[in-house]
A and B are shown apart, each in its own frame.
Chain A
């Protein structure tokens, strides 16, 4: 007769099963990529919504979140080049995004940065 599974082994098996289910539950990195399209703004808008910030897509390249414009460029390098050439010093560069902070309060910027910097 084979011995019963030890409790430690059972716990380990449960942990592995739980980890295996995580991707199915949608945990992990936000999905930016659907078949045939790529729009980095979509997960940001979803994240903002979850964070209680009203945000919407704007003019093909941007998201506007409670008055703060978040511009998405083709590559992080493009965003960087814009800033280095003195044309975006009023924006935070996070990857390909330029967040035009204007006079937005710190609390709002906290939530926006959190969503863009994922």
Chain B
């Protein structure tokens, strides 16, 4: 890794004050290398505490999409609405490393660990040695990166690219290092291929470039470089553009609500481990803000803050028109924030150092393993109910986006449906016109058609979300999912011949995302349908049903042909059952 000295800065980074001598920062390449390795090792330890944590819905989708062939991944993404880079990487990763939870998470871990040397390089190259060292330490323990290092999603990749893009932008258009123009374009394209909000970062960067160009003496050269970088990114992105347009027309985020005015603040808290961590960090950064804004690093710092503010503002405005806001998408700006706060801390003298120590101490403890291992409970449902399920049984998931996760954990060979009907590919969530379809499709005839294909003795697993956090169930999609779940549940309970065989989970621990519960039904034989209209109690029906099931298993053909024989069985023979 080569680390150049920022133009306009002395070759040696500003000396620490004598009072810091006990914490003398590493200077020699070997010392820096050792420091970096130590940070990466610490980060690896912190970020593998929950590496084998059970998956939640979005991770199930990621695994499902990546488990297609290469061409199939691209095709599946037409239904999902995401760009392909992470899924293609995960596809290759799964082939080499495997598909267990730990294997899936390990790819995200690699990107999270790569943020450490990237932050060292970027901080050093732009703001000087002390900033580089501080930024690397912050990147090693940042709770957002620690959380998503153990999640099979694209957010650590997005964070890494966001960090590199912010640094390359400043080097190319503020420091005027033209070697960074091409890399900026390439990284920007990769961001757009990783998450659609990479496009928002790109828009903010374009606005920043125009603002930089206005007073620049070399405006024409600057704009020409800008055209090269942004144009290059656009050309690289061009092959995906038709798919993006199709996704924009057909898919969406009906699960989202417009962000509140305070949402950008929540984003900063989310990136920096909650309010306390964020305040400690920002206080430390604020201590050096004056020195930062007075020195040669003023413009890079202002531009980085502009990239952060611009991305947040554009995303907030866009989400007022078409809600798609989620705090976890802002890995795009994490890198710029880390670099600027590290630069402030590095110039904040004793207060900066104290805040740095407090921040690191707070962050090391976050997020808790308990939280990370309790994102969802599909694994628990599967463990409890799998012994009751056979190939060909029907799983009906009331929240359609849970289907890929259920498929990951449940035994193979099951059939899947959601409130819109049969799911042809349970590895993908089809978001195309999803809300319209959920509104349009009537529960009663859809369920009847599904049950008609379940043979006598077959099982139907009804899986519904636990709607515990009211605020999470107020978007158009989630409100309707909650209602459809109840409507389908009522229909299943009222269906003649369906008998409740089990329910799960036995114990429920509040899930960080969406928890699930499940009820297993068994489609009965003639006798259970006959029993439905009798005066028998539920207990009597259940006892008789169990006897009948055993008789059918022992002597299938004979009894099936003469269902009236079942009424002679012990437990079914009481007069009131007839």
Contacts and interface: CB of A to CB of B under 8 A. Distances in A.
Contacts of B464: 83, 89
B470 interface: yes
Contacts of A103: 444, 487, 490
A94 B492 contact: no
Interface residues of A, number: 24
A18 B519 CA distance: 52
User: B interface, by DSSP: helix, strand, loop or mixed?
Assistant: helix
Interface in A80-113: 80-81, 83-86, 88-95, 99-103, 106, 109, 113
Interface in A1-33: none
Nearest to A117: B470
B466 A89 contact: no
A68 to B, nearest CB: 11
Interface in A56-92: 76, 80-81, 83-86, 88-92
Contact of B462 (A80, A84, A89, A99): A89
A92 B575 CA distance: 38
Interface string B476-500: 0001001101110111111000001
Contacts of B224: none
A109 B470 contact: no
Given A80-B508, A83-B517, A113-B479, A89 B468 contact: no
Nearest to A112: B483
Contacts of B486: 89-92, 99-101
Interface in B504-532: 505, 508, 517, 519
B492 A84 contact: no
Given A89-B489, A89-B493, A117-B474, A80 B466 contact: yes
Contacts, number: 73
Contacts of A102: 490
Interface residues of B, number: 29
A76 to B, nearest CB: 7
A76 B503 CA distance: 20
Contact of A100 (B482, B490, B508, B517): B490
A84 B489 contact: no
A85 to B, nearest CB: 6
Given A84-B508, A92-B485, A113-B479, A101 B467 contact: no
Contacts of B505: 84
A84 B503 contact: yes
A76 B474 CA distance: 17
Nearest to A114: B479
A109 B483 CA distance: 8
A86 B508 contact: no
B483 A95 contact: no
A86 B519 CA distance: 6
Contacts of A80: 466, 468, 508
Contact of B493 (A90, A95, A113, A117): A90
Nearest to B443: A103
Given A80-B508, A101-B490, A86 B470 contact: no
A93 B494 CA distance: 19
Interface of A: 76, 80-81, 83-86, 88-95, 99-103, 106, 109, 113, 117
22 contacts: A80-B508, A84-B508, A85-B503, A86-B503, A88-B489, A89-B492, A89-B493, A90-B491, A90-B493, A90-B494, A92-B485, A92-B486, A93-B467, A94-B473, A95-B470, A100-B486, A100-B490, A101-B487, A102-B490, A103-B487, A103-B490, A106-B483
